[in-house]
A and B are shown apart, each in its own frame.
Chain A
Amino acid sequence: QKEVEQDPGPLSVPEGAIVSLNCTYSNSAFQYFMWYRQYSRKGPELLMYTYSSGNKEDGRFTAQVDKSSKYISLFIRDSQPSDSATYLCAMSGGFQKLVFGTGTRLLVSP
């Protein structure tokens, strides 16, 4: 079993849709949870981060962590074509040695 599981997609949605991206994990020691966005032929850039359980909102993006279920989510409201990218979840036990999911490719059509 992989330490972090993420559906690779692709996930295709029309512009304006609400997007839900998810990861599950098996290591209960993970405390820090991050979402990175990666455009084609570019390095990952940090979108959201949370510590422990709960929700965090930043503009159109909301990150949720449910440690009891070992499940994290990223919601994108009013999705735009510029949101088309690969979204990687990442997590760590607190020492910045990140474990990444495989990434979900998102396509937002105009």
Chain B
Amino acid sequence: NAGVTQTPKFRILKIGQSMTLQCAQDMNHNYMYWYRQDPGMGLKLIYYSVGAGITDKGEVPNGYNVSRSTTEDFPLRLELAAPSQTSVYFCASVDRVVLNQPQHFGDGTRLSIL
């Protein structure tokens, strides 16, 4: 059981380049989330999805786009990479919005933009 799988684990981008961070879960979870974690800043919600075809903005959505065409996959797109997007990105999923269902996190993608 793989849980939440994020690829790639590490990436270095040049300013202005674009890339897609991949997130896949094999638990048939409806809810999926993208967070970024900056040093000393905690995790901040970028985008989330409550099911295939449904996405919504979180706290820090600017500079990112998402899509959810299947239950399993929730890719995060950076169109024009900027140094401020250097961060560790985490994807998470949960089956239902109930207290005893914790969000399952992937191990993150470390992204540096130079």
Interface residues of A (CB under 8 A from B): 4, 6, 8, 32, 34, 41-46, 49, 51, 88, 90, 94-98, 100-103
Determine if A97 and B48 form an interchain contact, defined as CB atoms under 8 angstroms apart. yes
A8 to B39, CA, bound (A): 10
| A51-B107 CB under 8 A given contacts A44-B43, A100-B42, A103-B42 | no
A42 to B105, CA, bound (A): 9
Name A's interface SS.
Answer: loop
Residues on A with beta carbons closer than 8 Å to the beta carbon of B41: 102
Determine if B42 and A101 form an interchain contact, defined as CB atoms under 8 angstroms apart. yes
A88 to B90, CA, bound (A): 14
Determine if A98 and B45 form an interchain contact, defined as CB atoms under 8 angstroms apart. yes
Q: Of A6, A46, A95, A101, which one neighbours B102 at CB under 8 angstroms?
A: A46
A79 to B22, CA, bound (A): 37
Q: Of B45, B48, B105, which one neighbours A43 at CB under 8 angstroms?
A: B105
What 7 A-B pairs are tightest by C-beta distance, nearest first? A43-B105, A46-B102, A100-B42, A100-B43, A102-B42, A96-B97, A43-B107
